[in-house]
């Protein structure tokens, strides 16, 4: 039987409950999953677009135990999805909001940058490799996965973001083509990357 999902309040809007949130090292929002009534969600989304003098918010805090975790949403980079759940409950209809950096849904190919959202128990290399192939401007073969992923990790081009809450983890892919191209070239010359999957294995 699955364990119940823990919910966390947003300090500035106590009628909203977060079940997952991921940020980068500077606490910039990458992904937020929140539940609430329609009016609470609409207030939250409206306040994100308003200036401070109009009771807007340029940051909010997720309450986790006795900690207040700051979150900085960049309105210019955010996309949102909502779905109506649990109609006709004692508290009215509940809505589910996903707020996320658009680079988590499609890579920024011009800058070779993307975010990936995974469940905590997923094998990251298997899930992240298609994103690497999609984002990278260099031609990659499917069976190059392990050596290329090792290069990305060693050069901090692929990093797990710290401090996610809930059943989510976020990864950042920031390819440095000027580093990656000569490194892959060297691996090809040394025979570590080949056109033949069996020969490489």
Question: Residue 201: is its pLDDT beyond 60?
Answer: no
| Helical (H) or strand (E) element with 186 | helix 177-189
Predicted pLDDT of residue 86: 63
Q: CB-based contacts of 134: which residues, under 8 Å, 6+ apart? A: 107, 109, 114
pLDDT per position as a tens digit, 72-102: 999 899 999 998 876 666 666 789 999 999 9
Question: Residue 10: is its pLDDT beyond 90?
Answer: yes
Question: Residue 200: is its pLDDT beyond 70?
Answer: no
Predicted pLDDT of residue 61: 95
* Band of pLDDT at residue 199, cut at 50, 70 and 90: low
- Residue 42: φ, ψ to 5°: -65, -40
Distance CA 112, CA 135 (A): 6
pTM listed for this prediction: 0.88
Distance CA 36, CA 42 (A): 10
- Residue 128: φ, ψ to 5°: -85, -25
The mean pLDDT value for 111-115 works out to 98
Predicted pLDDT of residue 67: 94
Predicted pLDDT of residue 53: 73
- CA 97 from chain centre, in angstroms, equals 15
Residues 20-45: b if buried by 16+ CB within 10 A, e if exposed: bbbbbeeeebbbbbbbbbeebbebbe
Question: Residue 1: is its pLDDT beyond 50?
Answer: no
Question: Residue 2: is its pLDDT beyond 60?
Answer: no
Predicted pLDDT of residue 114: 98
SS3 153: helix
| Helical (H) or strand (E) element with 68 | strand 67-71
Strands 169-174 and 158-160: antiparallel
């Amino acid at each position: 039987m699955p364990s119940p999902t823990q919910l966390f309040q947003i300090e500035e809007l106590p009628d909203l409950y977060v079940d997952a949130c991921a940020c980068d090292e500077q606490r910039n929002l990458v992904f937020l999953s929140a539940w609430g009534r329609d009016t609470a969600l609409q207030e939250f989304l409206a306040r994100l677009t308003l200036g401070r003098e109009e009771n807007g918010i340029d940051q909010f805090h997720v309450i986790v135990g006795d900690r207040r975790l700051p979150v900085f949403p960049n309105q210019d980079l955010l996309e949102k999805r909502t779905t109506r759940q649990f109609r006709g409950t004692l508290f009215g209809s509940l809505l589910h909001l996903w707020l996320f950096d658009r680079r988590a849904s499609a890579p920024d190919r011009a800058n070779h940058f993307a975010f990936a959202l995974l469940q905590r128990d997923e094998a990251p290399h298997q899930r992240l490799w298609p994103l690497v192939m999609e984002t990278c401007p260099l031609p990659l073969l499917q069976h190059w996965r392990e050596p290329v992923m090792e290069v990305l990790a060693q050069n901090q081009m692929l990093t797990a973001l710290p401090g996610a809450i809930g059943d989510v983890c976020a990864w950042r892919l920031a390819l440095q083509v000027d580093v990656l191209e000569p490194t892959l070239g060297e691996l090809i010359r040394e025979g570590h990357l080949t056109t033949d999957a069996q020969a490489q294995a």
